[in-house]
Structure 1
Amino acid sequence: MTLRSNITLIGMPGAGKSTLGILLAKALAKDFVDTDVLIQQRQGCTLQAYQKAHGLEAFAQLEAEVVGALTLDNTVISTGGSVVYSREAMSRLAAHSVVVFIDVPLDVLQQRIHNMESRGIVQKPGQSFELLFQERWPLYEAAADIRIEADHHAMDAVLALMIDALSKNHQGTADV
């Protein structure tokens, strides 16, 4: 694996990591991997079904194992929103990736997500989406090399912001 040849996208469910990841990979001529899809393929079931059957701790361990086993070069990696709970997984990703936090405001995320029960969002029983957002946001910010304030921008505008920020980061300037 080449040192930091990958780009890892982190952020809340609904931030657009998978969609933006595909677009970014295409724009930069990189491969694309979605860790949620890898988990589903490995287990033969949806994320939600796995969580219901095995619990949140088992899912977190599985996610850390799948991410820890990645040996990728020149790839855009879209992660599940809960990956930031695993220090080992984030350390591994950071060693081989520029980590990009797609920062979308809570109100926009709430408008985008209509399938909370079936989406496979890792959250404690009874925990609101708002509390989950408040819990994760500082973890995303701490893990990121680059933070993209996506606000209400269309996907193509967010993509352009990401490409510009990555270009500046590559030149040694991490300011976005």
Structure 2
Amino acid sequence: MRFPVYKYGLFFRLVEETDAAFILDLRTNKNLARHLTSTDDDLQKQVEWIREYKTREKSQKEYYFLFEDENHQPSGVVRLYDINDDTYTSGSWLAKPGSDEFLSIKSDLFISDFAAEELKGKKCVFDVRKKNKKVLRYHKMFSTVIGEDDLNYYFTIDEENALRKYNFLKSII
């Protein structure tokens, strides 16, 4: 897939070091990032993390996407990571406050498109914090809980349910 990509009313591109301040603002916002692993409020550390990520991107082990609105204003981020022979993980989704109410659906559709095209035959596995009730409801509609610990539920989604989810989401945007 060549970037940037325009789909579902958003522009998607791979994260660059110049995005560090935007990402840091999202990840250090206590309301937005309360269900993610904490991030130090240190711009240089964020730049260094992105620099290291770009190495993983080149080896196709991880993809970190920034999505922008139609005016090319950054709206949010999402990652595909822990990519191996059989599985990959989708997560780290964050969007700036006041964004389009369908932003999560649009970005989820894009991730589905990207995974189908670039990660053929791999199964999506992911975790959701138990306290993240809204996101849990969303994922339980299409995905299967395969485990849990004190903090998270662990999910997978098979090909049939992924297609059902994709078709459902496309019908509402």
What TM-score do you get using the length of structure 1 for normalisation? 0.30
Greater fraction of residues in helix: 1
Q: Which has the higher contact order (CA 8 A, sep 6+)?
A: 1
Greater fraction of residues in strand: 2
What TM-score do you get using the length of structure 2 for normalisation? 0.31
